[in-house]
Amino acid sequence: MSILIVSPGKNLDRWVEALKEADPSVPVYLPEQVKDPADIKFALAWNHPSGFFNHFKNLGGISSFGAGVDHLVKDPQIPDRVTITRIIDPLLSGDMAEFALAVVLKHMRRLTRYCRYQAENQWKKHSYLRVKNVSIGIMGTGMIGHHVANYLLNTGFRVSGWSRTQGKEAAYGKYYGKEQLNDFLKGCNILICLLPLTNATHGIINKHLLRKLPLGAHVINLGRGAHVLDGDLIQCIDEGHISSAHLDVFDPEPLPEDHPFWEHPKIDVTPHVASLTDPRSVAGQVMENYHRLQAGEPLINTVSRDRGY
């Protein structure tokens, strides 16, 4: 039995190498190398074409390349017998925390403006915000969001988090459920979205939510593009309620060349790079799930298809 890696358009050499290094005895194939589909037991996938997995009759599990599984959960053709798993990796959470801090400081110290001024040979000064005076709210305090919240708290920010359920106690202020969303939003000078994309979170960052943030709030989306209603965000920035935004994720990706986000003076765009999965750091957990499947044992890092994350 073997592992299949599928991610159209991506160079998969590092993934193949990392998996082979993790266990040289397990054959690893790309789609064009598969001779007998019945040989595939486990797959590693990112943005596979819908229906792609239909003819792998011995497939028992599919792992996402990353933390998010929206690309797998949305495919109704993945049979129920197939367990969906995802990546949980301290490196992924650590990289995300560093990216979040960089973006927060960029906003506080007005760095985007100074880049623009340099391009125009302009010597112009602005006031700035100090860490101890800034309150950051994290939507989604799961594996990554919880780490980001603690990291920002340890840097000296006031931090709160919002999740679906109450969960464990934390060092930062916790809010949960729809009932506590407004109270959470009231206290956020900076809002960071680290939610998974599900039916319940699709379009959650809309004008109704944005208007509940304090005047001049800054919005950072690191979750998925479809969390944001693009037109609503632009409207709230142009009306002045939201000061600015940093967006790392989009719907669709790549962000189309003619999308208004590219040219908007108060929106910064990065191409889904907040935290990139390192194949060598996660090959072990993928291999472990392959061996668990072979041994008929329960898999690790599983996802609830009903919940969507």
Active-site residue, 305 included: no
* Rounded Cα gap, residues 55 and 38, in angstroms: 8
Indicate the SS3 state at residue 5.
strand
Contact 299, 293 (CB under 8 A): yes
Counting contacts by CB under 6 A, is residue 277 touching ligand OXD? Answer: yes
Residue 164 contact among ligand OXD, ligand NDP, none, beta carbon within 5 to 8 Å by kind: ligand NDP
Distance CA 165, CA 193 (A): 16
Spatial separation of the C-alpha atoms in residues 117 and 111, rounded to whole Å: 10
Q: Residue 277 CB, nearest distance to ligand OXD (Å)?
A: 6
Maximum distance among all alpha carbons in the chain? Answer: 66
- Which of 223, 222, 216, 219 lies closest to 233, judged by CA? 219
Chain positions 138 to 177 lying near ligand NDP, rule: CB under 6 A, are: 140-145, 163-165, 167
- What is the C-alpha to C-alpha distance for residues 272 and 254, in angstroms, rounded to an integer? 9
Does 283 bind ligand NDP (CB under 6 A)? Our answer is no
Q: Convert residues 51-90 into a mask of x (bound to ligand NDP by CB under 6 A) and - (unbound).
A: ---------------xxx----------------------
For residues 86 to 125, the per-residue mask of contacts with ligand NDP, x marking binding by CB under 6 A and - elsewhere, is ------x---------------------------------
Closer CB to ligand NDP, residue 66 or residue 187?
A: 66
User: What tokens appear for 115 in the block?
Assistant: 């880049």
**What is the smallest separation between the CB atom of 169 and ligand NDP, expressed in angstroms?**
13
Q: Among residues 66 and 187, whose Cβ is nearest to ligand OXD?
A: 66
- 100: nearest Cα among 308, 258, 259, 270: 270
Give yes or no for residue 140 binding ligand OXD (CB under 6 A): no
Site for ligand OXD in 38-67 (CB under 6 A): 66-67
DSSP string, 147-169: HHHHHHHHHT-EEEEEESS--S-
Residue 219, φ and ψ in degrees, nearest 5? -115, 130
CB of 216 to ligand NDP, least distance (A): 24
CA distance 63 to 22: 16
Beta bridge partners of 215: none
Residues designated as active site: 224, 272
* Binding interface with ligand OXD (CB under 6 A): 66-68, 277
In the complex, which residues of this chain contact ligand NDP (CB under 6 A)? Answer: 66-68, 92, 140-145, 163-165, 167, 194-198, 200-201, 222-224, 248-249, 272, 274-275, 309
